[in-house]
Chain A
Amino acid sequence: MKLTLKIWRQNGANDKGGLVDYKLDGVSPDMSFLEMLDMLNEQIINEGGEPVAFDHDCREGICGMCSLYINGEAHGPDRGVTTCQLHMRMFKDGDTIFIEPFRASAFPVIKDLIVDRTSFDRIQHAGGFISVNTSGNTQDANSLPISKHAADEAMDAATCIGCGACVATCKNSSAMLFVGAKVSQYALLPQGQVEATDRVKNMVAQMDLEGFGNCTNTGACEVECPKGISLDNIARMNRELMKASV
């Protein structure tokens, strides 16, 4: 495959940045999108240029590290996959592909396609945990009965890998799908009840403080989420906050 790539290059947070065109030949349809970028970087290095900086780690779709806004969609045109699992067979020979970083005021660019997503970490620190003593006297898991339905829903919410695609794709740069999932995974379980009030209040407060936008229920986040996190989690978070505030 022969491709034209329009890639966002930005040398540091203070640089203005812009799209740069690259030609890449000999791309196999079996390559992952990141392997294609590896190939491009080899070409750039061989030509004496500076490789394109992009985030990646596990390359098997579970770490939440890879990002990229590809041809106008978070994690590209495929559904239910992260960029590392997106394959070049989704594109055609001769295609022009736009590759941009995830955009949001709360996700400032560090370099090229790498953005700072530590705002998600700070939201987690604000309440995305349960306080239990794990120093050798952990309770038996079966001593707390949990319904299959609640366990399934909590697990579904917990599959959020915090990649930030929801924010990137949202026209309001809202982080509510992420925070909704993180609130839900505890709200559905008895272990999460003790700190439920503080958790939702503190996480929503931190989300607002980080400068994420307001959800308008377009549902784009749910469609683009590589883990299929449901919009129901946002509704649950709204209910949790209402409950915690009255």
Chain B
Amino acid sequence: MSGFFNSSIGRKVAMALSAFFLMFFLLQHFAINILSIFNPDVFNEVSHFMGTNPLVQYALQPVLIFGVVFHFVMGFVLELRNKKANGIKYAKNNGAANSSWMSRNMIYSGIAILAFVVLHFIDFWIPEINTKYIVGDMSGLHNGEFRYFHELVEKFENPLRVVAYVIAFVFLALHLLHGFTSAFQSMGATAGRKKTLQNIGKAYSIIIPLGFIVIALFHHFNH
């Protein structure tokens, strides 16, 4: 089996598996964030649960970090290997004649997403870790109320942050528009080429990033 993951196909499968995990994570992240529009109280409750539940914090969170790091590192490793396999560049290459822009530029949309993830870590994750595990305040309270919704609204007051969000999620949409069906294809699903899966892929790739953009804009203009 270790031989399998060292083969070119094994690496594709590993990329696809980490992609499935990240796409699932994105879906649940979206489901929680969208609550902030419809019901701040429920959003606070769920955020508190996710932020303090030992299973989420000590089991799922490390898996998530591993998944994110793995997908990025593997992406770069594969890109470098593929560059090496290329040889001399063509003087004229008409890539648009046979493939989508998204499929040819996964590394660049990936880098844009990586930049956002780094920003998100500094912006959200590190302060959270600091409050909960260094200061030791697991209450999730601020002035006697849950702090999560309030913090979210505060974050989106800054127009620069909102712009960064919008740009990052546009790149995420571009990444997913190829990545979703590509992951299924790598796992051996010829269904990746059939209409249903392609349509689900398109819907997911547009609705989820667009939803995150709507959340950011909603809180920016509503508060």
Contact = CB atoms under 8 A, between A and B. Distances in A.
B98 A220 contact: yes
B9 A171 contact: no
A23 B8 CA distance: 44
Nearest to A6: B91
Interface in B5-36: 7-13
Contact of B188 (A72, A173, A239): A239
B39 interface: no
A6 B90 CA distance: 12
Contact of A98 (B12, B91, B103): B91
A103 B88 contact: yes
A214 B12 CA distance: 7
A216 interface: yes
Nearest to A169: B98
B82 A173 contact: yes
Contacts of A69: 90, 93
B47 to A, nearest CB: 36
Contacts of A242: 4, 9, 13, 188
B85 A103 contact: no
Interface residues of B, number: 43
B187 A220 contact: no
Interface stretch (B64-72, B115-123, B124-132, B178-186): B178-186
A236 interface: yes
Interface in A207-246: 207-208, 211-220, 223-224, 231-232, 234-239, 241-242, 245-246
Given A104-B85, A173-B82, A212 B8 contact: yes
The 9 A-B residue pairs whose C-beta atoms are closest, nearest first, are A72-B94, A213-B85, A239-B188, A172-B82, A223-B98, A245-B4, A213-B82, A218-B103, A98-B92
27 contacts: A6-B91, A8-B91, A72-B94, A98-B92, A103-B88, A103-B89, A103-B90, A105-B84, A105-B87, A108-B87, A172-B82, A174-B8, A174-B85, A213-B8, A213-B82, A213-B85, A216-B78, A217-B185, A217-B186, A219-B99, A231-B185, A234-B185, A235-B192, A238-B9, A238-B186, A238-B187, A245-B10
